[in-house]
Amino acid sequence: MNDTLWTDHLPPDDADFLALVAAAIAELPEPFATHAKAVAVQVVDFAPDAMLQELDIDDPFELTGLYDGTPLPEKLGEQVLGPDTIWLFRRPILDEWVARGDIPLGHLVAHVYLHELAHHFGWSDGDIAQVAPWMD
């Protein structure tokens, strides 16, 4: 994964995050890559207040990403309204990256993105933790 050293640059912007997501998608095997390309990705600084309220989260730095859509297993025979979207919240991700200080930004962005993509495939947080535990 190509990961820029950000020490001599401005903080990574939305386009930089989307480039890191594209790199993560490029490394996915099929059929996951094809499905990933069908899910929209939105990068914003923080989750909207309504989203935080719905999730009962007081501190916007606690939410780094969110899958908003209908998981694939639930789509069979169901009319789906709107596109599936993975939201990446730039400021909380950057805050975690700085606090950890031990991993490249691209790895963290890919981790958050892939965690949310796993929800698109119908995996629970428990399923994800068993298959892809957080990097040591």
116: domain CATH number is 3.30.2010.20
Residues 6+ apart with CB under 8 A from 135: 103, 107, 111
Instruction: Give me the pLDDT at residue 5, please.
Output: 56
> What total number of domains does the chain contain?
1
Does a structural domain hold residue 20?
A: yes
pLDDT at 53 over 90: yes
Does a structural domain hold residue 4?
A: no
Rounded to the nearest 10°, the torsion over CA 33, 117, 79, 44 is: -110
Mean pLDDT of the 83-101 span:
94
Residue 74: pLDDT band (50, 70, 90) is confident
Mean pLDDT of the 82-109 span:
93
Does a structural domain hold residue 120?
A: yes
Does a structural domain hold residue 5?
A: no
